Amino acid sequence: MVDTRTHTHRHTHTHRHTHTDTHTHTLEWLSLTLTQTFSNGMEDDQGVCRAHAFTHVLFLLLNLVLSELSHPEAKPLDFVCVNDVRKVMNKVKDLQEDLAHCGTAALLPVPVRTPYIRVNFQTWQSKPIPVRRAEILQSLRMLAQDIHHARNQSQDQCAVRLLDRLEHNINNYIHTLTQIHTQSGPDGLKVQAPSFHHFTNLSLVLQHFDRLISRKLEWLVNEMARECETETDR
């Protein structure tokens, strides 16, 4: 059962999200469009259309700016009970898209221990929730540690930016999972060290990280979410 005390506790830690080239180009396009709209004037035969276009561009600009602001970690209860919160938190697709435009970042300077994610569903589900949560946390901490080391060893600025964003995303999961309490066991539970691969390919690291959070973690959260209606009604 999720402890609702974590829902009322506000976390004020924020992190600055790195700008990508795509966002830079988008901002330039929006700025140019706004300039042209003002220079051509709003009062002409197509005044209504221009006003609509201006409103649309301003809306896009506002959303882009908001998306680039620092984001706090997800509140634990929301993370468990709201699917969209978890979807927004998962930044793997964004990182994979940026990696495609940053080929020099694909080869990591040092091997990264990446959790072995192949698991039997029935075996996994038979473990107590605190044990599963502890295993996922241990895997995430191991991965975050090695990503941090790879970032410090990298000489490629594009790679440094991607690794920094990946480490930030992993730490968000670590922080959120650490705040999730259950009734069936204490935090800091000792579990067996996770099995792992050694990868020097960032693309493979991203794939396995994505599988860890979309399989093991999602299975765990889905089971915990059964208590959401009870908790939110209190």
DSSP string, 58-89: HHHHHHHHHHHS-EEPPPHHHHHH-HHHHHHH
Flag the least confident range among 17-26, 82-91, 174-183.
17-26
pLDDT at 103: 82
Residue 190 in any domain: the answer is: yes
User: Are 180 and 207 in the same domain?
Assistant: yes
- Backbone phi, psi, residue 225, to 5°: -70, -10
pLDDT at 71: 45
Flag the least confident range among 36-40, 73-77, 136-140, 166-170.
36-40
User: Are 80 and 159 in the same domain?
Assistant: yes
% helix, strand, coil for the chain, step of 5: 65, 10, 25
**Whole-prediction pTM value?**
0.65
Q: Residues, the chain, total?
A: 234
Domain range spanning residue 35?
21-68
CB–CB of 86/138 below 8 Å? no
**C-alpha to C-alpha distance for 150 and 163, rounded to whole angstroms:** 8
pLDDT digits (tens, 9 = 90+) for 192-206: 777 889 999 999 999
140 DSSP 8-state letter: H
pLDDT at 117: 81
Q: How many domains does the chain have?
A: 2
The H or E element spanning position 128 is none
- Residue 22: pLDDT above 90? no
The set of residues, in sequence order, having a beta carbon less than 8 Å from that of 220 and lying 6+ positions away, is 129, 132, 133, 136
Residue 157 in any domain: the answer is: yes
- CATH classification of the domain holding 158: 1.20.1250.10
**C-alpha to C-alpha distance for 144 and 141, rounded to whole angstroms:** 5
**C-alpha to C-alpha distance for 127 and 187, rounded to whole angstroms:** 16
User: Are 98 and 114 in the same domain?
Assistant: yes
User: Are 107 and 31 in the same domain?
Assistant: no
Residue 84 in any domain: the answer is: yes
User: Are 43 and 121 in the same domain?
Assistant: no
Boundary-marking domain end, from 40, 68, 96: 68
- Residue 113: pLDDT above 90? yes
User: Are 36 and 94 in the same domain?
Assistant: no
CB–CB of 83/186 below 8 Å? no
Q: Which amino acid is at 6?
A: T
More confident residue, 29 or 205: 205
User: Are 84 and 176 in the same domain?
Assistant: yes
Boundary-marking domain end, from 47, 68, 89: 68
